[in-house]
């Protein structure tokens, strides 16, 4: 490293004017943010101890899950329907199986 640069870096001092309660304020902000999450979690736990919100949430989750599965199955069947049909026919019809093995 250049000696002149090294001397300048060694002589460099940072003069920060940190407020007197800076560290205490930082920890207070951290505690406040944690308490927000605690309040949210406590509210959720309290709400799910009541029957109506719990039933509504479970019903909504089941409806969304069933709907998603239905549409994904539709898409899968549209893409792979003919292949699945041919494989099924091979399992129940020995002649179809024999014809496909000669091809």
To the nearest whole percent, how much of the chain has pLDDT over 90? 18
In terms of Cα–Cα distance, which of 54, 35, 56 is closest to 46?
Answer: 54
The answer to whether 60 and 54 have CB atoms below 8 angstroms apart is no
Whether residue 13 has pLDDT greater than 90? no
Residue 67 half-sphere exposure toward CB, CA atoms < 13 A? 6
| Bigger pLDDT: 67 vs 103 | 67
What pTM, to 2 d.p., does this model score?
0.41
What is the model's pLDDT at position 1? 62
The answer to whether 46 and 54 have CB atoms below 8 angstroms apart is no
The answer to whether 56 and 48 have CB atoms below 8 angstroms apart is no
| Backbone Cα Rg of the chain | 34
């Amino acid at each position: 490293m250049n000696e002149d640069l090294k001397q300048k870096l060694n002589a460099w001092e940072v003069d920060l004017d940190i407020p007197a309660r800076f560290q205490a304020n930082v920890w207070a902000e951290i505690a406040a943010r944690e308490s927000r999450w605690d309040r949210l979690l406590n509210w959720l736990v309290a709400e799910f101890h009541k029957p109506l919100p719990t039933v509504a949430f479970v019903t909504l989750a089941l409806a969304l899950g069933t709907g998603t599965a239905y549409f994904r199955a539709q898409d899968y069947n549209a893409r792979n329907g003919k292949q699945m049909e041919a494989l099924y026919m091979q399992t129940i019809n020995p002649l179809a199986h024999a014809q496909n093995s000669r091809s």
